[in-house]
Chains A and B, each alone.
Chain A
Amino acid sequence: AQTVTQSQPEMSVQEAETVTLSCTYDTSESDYYLFWYKQPPSRQMILVIRQEAYKQQNATENRFSVNFQKAAKSFSLKISDSQLGDAAMYFCACTTSGTYKYIFGTGTRLKVLA
C-alpha cells in the first residue's frame, strides 16, 4: 500500500522569502509519479509541479522546484520569492501506473506574511 506523509500542518513565510514544504512517501512500485497541488480558498485543486520517478532531474516550474530524493523517498517543494497569492493548502500526492489513483498527504497550510 502507498502512503504519503506531510509532517508540517502549517508553515509561514515572509513575502519574497523562500520556504520548503516536506513530503515523504512509500510505495513498492517502481513506476510512480509525484505531484504537488495547491488548494486556495476557492478549493479548486491546482497542479503546481509533477515529478516522474524515473527522472533523476528535479522538476522546476518558475518559482517552484522540488528536491526529489528517491532513495530516501522524499519529495519536498521549494517556493522561492514567495507571494501573497501563494497562500493556500498544499497537498503532496503519489500515483502509480496501473491504478492511476492518487494518494494524498494530509496537507500543509502555507501562510504568507506581508
Chain B
Amino acid sequence: GAVVSQHPSWVICKSGTSVKIECRSLDFQATTMFWYRQFPKKSLMLMATSNEGSKATYEQGVEKDKFLINHASLTLSTLTVTSAHPEDSSFYICSARDFRTLNEQYFGPGTRLTVT
C-alpha cells in the first residue's frame, strides 16, 4: 500500500515552454502533497505544500508564478513549470501524506526535467 506515482519520469523541453508533472496517490487519499526539488548529490529542498482544494503554500524563495501547483483532488497534484529555462533543470519529487498515518510522507519516484 501507500504508493505514489509520478508522470512523466523524464521530460526534455525547450526553453520558454511549460511542462506539467503529475503526482498521484494510487491507493490512499492524500490530504496533503509536497513538492521537492533535488540537485545532483544534494538534499531535497521543499518547494511547496499543497492541500486538496486549497492554494499551495510556497517556501521562501520559490517563485509561485513559475512553479504552479494544483491539488484538485485527493489523489492528484500537478506541478507546472512555466516558461522553463535551463536553470530549472532538476529532479522533482513529490510526496503525499495519508491522513491516517499522520506524519509519514510517501514519495513518488521523481521526475527528471531537462530544459534545453
Contact = CB atoms under 8 A, between A and B. Distances in A.
Interface of A: 33, 35, 37, 42-45, 47, 50, 91, 95-97, 99-102, 104-107, 109
Interface string B97-116: 10000111101011000000
Interface in B1-49: 32, 34, 38, 41-44, 46, 49
A66 B88 CA distance: 37
Interface of B: 32, 34, 38, 41-44, 46, 49, 91, 93, 95, 97, 102-105, 107, 109-110
Contacts of A95: 103, 105
A101 B95 CA distance: 10
Nearest to B110: A43
Contact of A104 (B32, B43, B49, B104): B43
Name the prevailing secondary structure of the A interface residues: loop
Contacts of A100: 32, 49, 97, 102-103, 105
Contacts of A47: 104
B34 A42 contact: no
Given A35-B104, A101-B49, A43 B109 contact: yes
A104 B104 CA distance: 13
B78 to A, nearest CB: 20
Given A91-B43, A104-B44, A45 B107 contact: yes
Contacts of B104: 33, 35, 47, 50
A106 B42 CA distance: 7
Contacts of B93: 43, 45
Given A43-B110, A107-B42, 18 more contacts: A33-B103, A33-B104, A37-B107, A42-B109, A43-B109, A44-B109, A91-B44, A95-B103, A100-B32, A100-B49, A100-B97, A100-B102, A100-B103, A100-B105, A101-B46, A102-B95, A104-B43, A106-B43
Contacts of B41: 109
Contacts of A104: 43-44
A39 to B, nearest CB: 9
A42 B93 CA distance: 12
